[in-house]
Each structure stands twice: as C-alpha cells, then as structure tokens.
Chains A and B, each alone.
Chain A
Amino acid sequence: MIAVNVENLRKEFFRRDAHRSGLRRRRRRVPALDGVTFTIERGECVAILGQNGSGKSTLVRLLSTLLLHDGGSASVFGHDVFREPRAVQRLVNRVSVEASFFKKMSSTENLSYAARFYGMTASETRERIPAILARVGFPSQRRHEAMEHLSRGMQQKVSLARALLTSPVLLLLDEPTTGLDPRSKLEVQEFIREVWAAQDATILLCTHDLAEAEALADRVGILDRGRLLCLEPASDLKARFDAETLEEAFFAATGREFEAEDQDAERGVFA
C-alpha cells in the first residue's frame, strides 16, 4: 500500500530584491521544490538528504498541510493533501528541528492541550501522557516543570512524545536530532527505531546527518536545490556513484560538499 505519493510537486516563493528599482523592490519567483516525484510504501522509512535550503523543510511543510503547492500533487494514504487537508491532518504528525513548545507550560500541559486537538479527552490523556513520557525516557519527576527549564535533548524527547501521542500513521521528522548532544542523539534515534518497529508507522526523515539516514532508512534520497536527484537504498546509491560513503555519493550526485551551505543565497530562506 502506498502511504505517500508525490508527483511533480512544485513550490515557489516570491523573493524581494535587496536593491530598489525606482520606488519598489522587484519580486522574483524562486523555486523551493521543482518537480519532485516519489512514493513511500506503508511501513517504510525514507530519508531525504540535502543541504540547508535544499527544500527539505518545504517538502515536510507541504505534506503537513502548512503550505499550498504551485503544481503537481501529493497524497497521504489516498487523501489529497491540498483538497482533503483535514483527513491528512488526522494521519500525520511531525517532529521538527526546533522542539517548539509553550515555554512556561510544563511538558504535561503542552502534551495535554496538543492531544485535545486530536480529539483526546482529559481522562485519556491522564493515562497516556505519563506512559508516553516514560516511554521516551523522560523523568517522571520533571513532568510538571516548565519547558524552559529542560535541556534541548529533553525538549526533543517531549516533542517525540507529542508526535506519538496522537498515533500518527505517517511521521514526518525534520532534522529531529540536529543540535542534540551525541548521547541525546543516540537516544532519539533509538526511540525512532523502536516506534517504527512497534507502531507500524511510515516515516519520512529529512536530515542533515548522513550516518543517521544510513542507519535508519530503507531508502535514501538526495534533494538538491529543490530537485530530488535519486531515491534508493543507501547501498545502491553508493554503488551507482561508485562511492565508499554516502558523503561521496552526495558529492558525486550534486557536485558539492555535503557539509557546505547551499551557496545560492536566494535559497537560504527555505531551509
């Protein structure tokens, strides 16, 4: 069964020139995603690699119904993302690079209100929130502490708990371990693996971390300047470009070092 079907998906943004021409600044269309096509099977984990500004977050935000497209199509479990956003929203949740919480509220309060939006009652969350926080390894004695007092790694664990609390069938992970210390990173990756196995979830992982992509994903794609250059198992990708590592394969596919920023300044805003 196809979980995600993306065909020729396009998204452009307007960008104002830095310099004025007469009284007005000229506006130009800048492509963020340019004819992206791929499918993800149910239960599969697909990683998309790309530099900052390559269009990874735009892809995640399109599938999250937070952006409207400029062309092509996208569906999640047969529901058109742009015509049936409510149906898609019930199936999807995400974890992004920023944990994003009401900082003065506690983890329990943040999770509780987020769960209401997915139709979970107070009696349901009273049981499920402590259980899910325990599952991500969050210390129970800190459940009522304000989020601003928690470390970045702790916050990201709560972010994972928030996404899993609603039992999504499609989990969108947008650089979930970026900025975490090595130990927290390993813990989060281990938990993603566990959830993937236990919940029969389909995962789209957009990442900057080559090792993470190789360790977690069934297939790895390279997104470069809004174009999806390839999407195949990491071993096939390396074989295709006659590369020893994914980093070498990335360089062979794009002509640029993976760690370098996308030098096209226009694209930076879409990171």
Chain B
Amino acid sequence: MRGAATTLRHELIGLAGVVERNAYLVKRYAWWELAFFVWSLANTLTIVFIAKGIHAAGGKLDVDRATTTLLIGAVIWSYLGVVFEILTETVAWERWEGTIEYTFMAPLARPIHLIGMGLFAVVYGVFRTAVLFGVIAGFFSLSLGGANFVAALVVLAVASVSFIGIGMMTAVLPLISPEKGMQMGFIAQGILLVISGIYYPVSVLPEWMQWLSTISPATYALRGIRHAILEGAGVGAVWSDIWPLIVIGFVTVPLGLMIFGAGERHAKRHGKLKRSG
C-alpha cells in the first residue's frame, strides 16, 4: 500500500515535470509563440471575413451569424492544431533537441508522460483560444450577449479528452518515422478539418464523408459549441453532443495509449528511439 502511494506520488511529480518543462519552453520561445499567434490571428481573420465578402458580393445571409459560425470553426480548428502539435512534440521536439533518450529512459509511466503533455496542451490551448476568440470578436463587434460560454467550455473540455486521445495516436508517428512522422500527423489533422464541419455543415458532405464525421469528436464539439454560443443553449441542451464525445473519449484515450505503446516497442526494437543526426 505504501509502495503504491510512493509510486503514485512519483508519477504525479513526473506529470508536474512534463507540464513545467512545457511552460519553460513557452517562456523561452515567447517570440515564436507570439509569431505563431499572429499567424493564427491573420489566418482566422481571413476566414471570418469570408462572411462579409459574400454579403458584399450580393449574397443573402445573416452576416453576424455567419461570421460567428466561421469564427467558432476557425478558433476550434486553431485549438485542435495546438493540442495536436504539442502532443506530436512529445517525440518530435525531444528528437530535435536530442533529449529523447534521457526522457524515455526515465522512470515515468508513458501514460503519465502523455497525459502530462495533453494536460499542458489543453490548458495552453484554452488560454490561447480564448485570447484569439476575444481579439477576433473585437474586429466584428459581434453581439454575443446571449451566448452560453459555460456550456461551450464544458463541450470543449469533454471534447479535449478525445482530442488528446487522437493526439496520442499522431504523436507516435515521429517515433515510427523520424524523417516524415511529424508531417504525417498533419494528414490526420487535415482529415478532421474536412469531415468535421469546421466551416460548413456536415450535411453538405458526400454521404461516406458524413459517416466519417460521426466518429470525429470535432463534429460534436463544433456543433455543441455553436449551439451554446449562437443560441445560448445550456449544458442540458447540448447533451446530445456531449455524450458522443464521452464515448469517443473512452475509446480514443486507451486506443491512443495502446498505439503509442506499440510504437515505442517498435522504436526500441529497431533502434529508432534516438536523437536525429
């Protein structure tokens, strides 16, 4: 019993270490973070201005509603990108810095290591997304008085579990393929972008893509968050989007850990758990 408590304590200290390390990196690469934020801001603005562009070209649409719909899509996409990027860096950044061998030979359970990365990704991602949303909303003077931000945050928090699970699956790619693994992770992100209705309703997709959208957590996250912000829906009203996210989370996290474990064993068998160059 005492041994188990000591082990748990060590694991929690290790988890804090993963979060601490990422916080140091954000601090040390502050200018990169700022540049990346400005890029996200410009990218998101470009997308959100599409609604005004269509209106100016004579299209008939509720500009405020279309703007908010696009804004939610763009910021959630940005959030998803941050979560995936940080989780993929579990291996890729360590390999680049050359610290991968020291980290992977340390007595820290891999699930704790990955959960630590995921935890930091969510905290940092939520903060960054909130700032991005606030800045862009300011450009358009959107009326968000009726929005239920609490319900939106609950949906985002539940969806984050699934995002972490999928991120763990993509994090394994640089372990298997040191040269192209990071880029292969973008494929998974790209597929989610297409099928999850980031900028359009999934009903416009071909039928087979619509089927794929039902297993993407981003589909439910976007629908629930839009419902909460555009219609002011409460947690009860978005439950139909929350429960599928819980189910997907229950599947993706263990599956992600299993896939990462298999990838780590593969890397250890083939000598790929080492620095680049």
Interface residues of A (CB under 8 A from B): 13-14, 58, 61, 64-68, 86, 89-90, 92, 94, 96, 98, 100-105, 109, 112-121, 146, 162, 270
Contact = CB atoms under 8 A, between A and B. Distances in A.
Given A94-B105, A105-B24, A119-B9, A66 B17 contact: no
B106 interface: yes
Interface in B1-45: 9-10, 13-14, 16-18, 20-21, 24-25, 28-29
Contacts of B60: none
Interface stretch (B75-83, B126-134, B182-190, B264-272): B264-272
Top 9 A-B pairs ranked by shortest CB distance?
A116-B17, A119-B10, A117-B106, A100-B98, A89-B107, A104-B28, A113-B21, A64-B105, A68-B268
Contacts of A109: 21, 24, 28
Contact of B97 (A13, A66, A89, A102): A102
Nearest to B98: A100
B270 A14 contact: yes
B124 interface: no
Contacts of B109: 86
Contact of A114 (B16, B97, B102, B271): B102
B108 interface: yes
A102 B67 CA distance: 41
Nearest to A112: B20
A102 B18 CA distance: 13
A268 to B, nearest CB: 13
A146 B270 CA distance: 33
B20 A66 contact: no
B105 A66 contact: yes
Given A102-B24, A109-B24, A120 B105 contact: no
Given A104-B29, A105-B25, A116-B13, A66 B101 contact: yes
13 contacts: A66-B274, A68-B265, A68-B268, A68-B269, A94-B105, A96-B101, A116-B16, A117-B17, A117-B107, A118-B10, A119-B14, A146-B28, A270-B271
B253 to A, nearest CB: 21
B102 A105 contact: no
A98 to B, nearest CB: 6
Contact of A116 (B20, B25, B98, B274): B20
B268 A67 contact: yes
B273 interface: yes
A89 B274 CA distance: 17
A226 to B, nearest CB: 13
Contacts of A100: 97-99, 101-102, 275
B104 interface: yes
A92 B105 contact: yes
A101 B14 contact: no
B34 to A, nearest CB: 15
A118 B13 CA distance: 8
Contacts of A61: 101, 271, 274
A116 B14 CA distance: 5
Contacts of B10: 118-119
